[in-house]
């Protein structure tokens, strides 16, 4: 069994598919519009919730708005085996991500709304949820100061943290000493460490810095050598949320005592399955779906 706490954004994704990106002052037609629950925090929680077994405890902390989206977003989390009693409802609009799908990739404009109100200074009972947690998962769609307060608390309590600095902020380096796993994608990594060669950087943070490389997979150092875990080849339907699936699955495997290398391979398969369906959470696999894949390794013992 494992207990995982995810603190982060819970948003509604407004998704438009188009064959053309509008130029300045131009209107273009979209092909399809859809609305899906999203937010990097909720996506990572759902990735974990789908993989979880009844004995696992998955808790989300965050905030939704007092609008019609708020209750839909909470219900979606519940349906994915996530405990939401510590997700607040605040006098704000729920977080919104405006997503444009164009040529097999996505462009996102994010407006935090209620997610911007997450403030651990006002927490009381919320801190009790952290008792006996195996892992805390953080990203960057809530205020930086909230992440810092949570990271410091977890460090004091000896709780491991997986931190996905997405989208990157200049303040992220402040988190580096407090967290156990730091998982930027290559663009975020470049933004955070502009002067550094990737291999040197990975060797400076063995088993801590894991850089995701999109269709090329992921890379990390075990302190002796750099390991590249290639992605599994596919023609994606929608890559939105692939990074969240990867982070969620990586965290879930780590919390079950699986090594960093194998946890990354497990996460690679989860992300591979996730891009086969539409919507950030649409293709996130259950453990059953993982086990049905020909790429699933029997040595990943989740019984």
**Active centre residues (catalytic):** 244
* Residues 38-57 within binding reach of ligand RIB (CB under 6 A): 38-40, 43
Q: Which is nearer to ligand RIB, 134 or 244 (CB)?
A: 244
Please give the residues from 229 up to 258 whose contact with ligand RIB meets the rule CB under 6 A: 240-241, 243-244
Residue 112 binds to ligand RIB (criterion: CB under 6 A): no
Instruction: Write the DSSP symbol of residue 185.
Output: B
Whether a cis peptide bond, with omega within 30° of 0, leads into 167 is yes
Q: What is the DSSP string of 46-86?
A: HHHHHH--TT-EEEEEEEEESSHHHHHHHHHHHHTT-B-TT
Residue 65 sits in the site that holds ligand RIB (CB under 6 A): no
Q: Nearest distance from residue 142's CB to ligand RIB, in Å?
A: 11
117 binds ligand RIB (CB under 6 A): no
Which of these, 242, 220, 246, 238, lies nearest to 276 by C-alpha position? Answer: 238
Question: Under a CB-based contact definition with an 8 Å cutoff, are residues 162 and 183 in contact?
Answer: yes
Q: How far is the CB of 42 from ligand RIB (least distance, A)?
A: 8
* Binding residue for ligand RIB, selected from 5, 8, 13, 182, defined by CB under 6 A: 13
Q: Is 110 in the site for ligand RIB (CB under 6 A)?
A: yes
User: What would the two tokens of residue 116 be?
Assistant: 């911007």
CB of 55 to ligand RIB, least distance (A): 28
CB nearer to ligand RIB: pick between 68 and 299: 68
Residue with tokens 């990106």: 21
Q: How far is the CB of 138 from ligand RIB (least distance, A)?
A: 14
**According to CB under 6 A, which residues from 190 to 229 bind ligand RIB?**
none
Which residues lie closer than 8 Å to 25 by C-beta, 6 or more apart? none
What burial letters (b/e) apply to 21-47, b meaning 16+ CB within 10 Å? eeeeeeeeeeeeeeebbbbbbbbbbbb
Site for ligand RIB in 277-296 (CB under 6 A): 280
Per the listing, tokens 């080849």 go with 233
Q: Is 97 a residue that touches ligand RIB (CB under 6 A)?
A: yes
Q: Which residues bind ligand RIB (CB under 6 A)?
A: 11, 13, 38-40, 43, 97, 108, 110, 141, 240-241, 243-244, 280
């Amino acid at each position: 069994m494992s207990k995982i706490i995810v603190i982060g954004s819970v948003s509604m994704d407004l998704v438009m598919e188009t064959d053309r990106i509008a130029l300045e002052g131009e209107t273009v037609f979209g092909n399809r519009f859809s609305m899906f629950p999203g937010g990097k925090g909720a996506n990572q929680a759902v990735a974990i919730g789908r993989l979880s077994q009844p004995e696992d405890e998955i808790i989300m902390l965050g905030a939704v708005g007092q609008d019609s989206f708020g209750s839909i977003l909470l219900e979606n989390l519940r349906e994915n085996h996530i405990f939401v009693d510590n997700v607040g409802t605040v006098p704000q609009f729920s977080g919104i991500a405006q997503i444009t799908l164009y040529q097999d990739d996505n462009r996102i404009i994010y407006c935090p709304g209620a997610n911007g109100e997450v403030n651990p200074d006002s927490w009381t009972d919320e801190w009790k949820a952290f008792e006996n947690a195996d892992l805390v998962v953080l990203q960057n769609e809530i205020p930086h100061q909230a992440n810092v307060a949570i990271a410091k608390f977890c460090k004091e309590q000896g709780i491991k943290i997986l931190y996905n600095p997405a989208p990157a902020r200049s303040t992220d380096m402040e988190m580096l000493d407090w967290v156990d796993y730091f998982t930027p994608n290559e663009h975020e990594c470049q933004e955070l460490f502009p002067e550094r060669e990737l291999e040197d950087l990975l060797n400076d943070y063995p088993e801590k810095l894991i850089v995701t490389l999109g269709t090329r997979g992921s890379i990390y150092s075990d302190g002796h050598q750099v390991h590249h875990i290639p992605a599994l080849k596919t023609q994606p339907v929608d890559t939105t949320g692939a990074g969240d699936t990867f982070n969620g699955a990586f965290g879930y495997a780590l919390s079950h005592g699986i090594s960093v290398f194998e946890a990354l391979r497990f996460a690679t398969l989860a992300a591979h399955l996730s891009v086969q369906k539409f919507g950030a959470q649409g293709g996130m696999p259950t453990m059953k779906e993982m086990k049905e894949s020909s790429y699933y390794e029997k040595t990943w013992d989740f019984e």
